[in-house]
Amino acid sequence: DSGVTQTPKHLITATGQRVTLRCSPRSGDLSVYWYQQSLDQGLQFLIQYYNGEERAKGNILERFSAQQFPDLHSELNLSSLELGDSALYFCASSEARGELFFGEGSRLTVL
């Protein structure tokens, strides 16, 4: 158990819809990262938050947005969903330096 909690574990929705993925980091970790893993692909970095502020941005689509709340949990919002958005979305947290601890992922299926 990494200590990072992601909900929901599975989500099935239709094209054009909007979903929200939630992440609770390990206790004490200020940084939260979001990654996308499409089928049989590597992990693509989307965005990082540190103590409530956006700190780094990767290949995140404009239809996607994220935020980190005062209690340090984070949400990733995906809107106007397309078939190609179907993927496993990982959240990870870390201390200032060191390894990332990953949640179990949220599997999104867009039909």
Span near another protein by CB under 8 A; candidates 10-18, 19-27, 55-63, 72-80: 55-63
Among 22, 26, 55, 73, binds another protein (CB under 8 A): 55
Q: Of 10-18, 69-77, 79-87, 93-101, which segment contacts another protein by CB under 8 A?
A: 93-101
Least distance from another protein to the Cβ atom of residue 105, Å: 6
Other CB atoms within 10 Å distance of the CB of residue 45:
15
CA-closest candidate to residue 47, choices 63, 23, 66: 66
Give 20 or 37: the residue with its C-beta nearer to another protein.
Answer: 37
Q: Which amino acid is at 101?
A: F
Binding status of residue 11 toward another protein by CB under 8 A: no
From the number of C-beta atoms within 10 Å of its C-beta (0-12, 13-18, 19+), residue 21 rates as buried
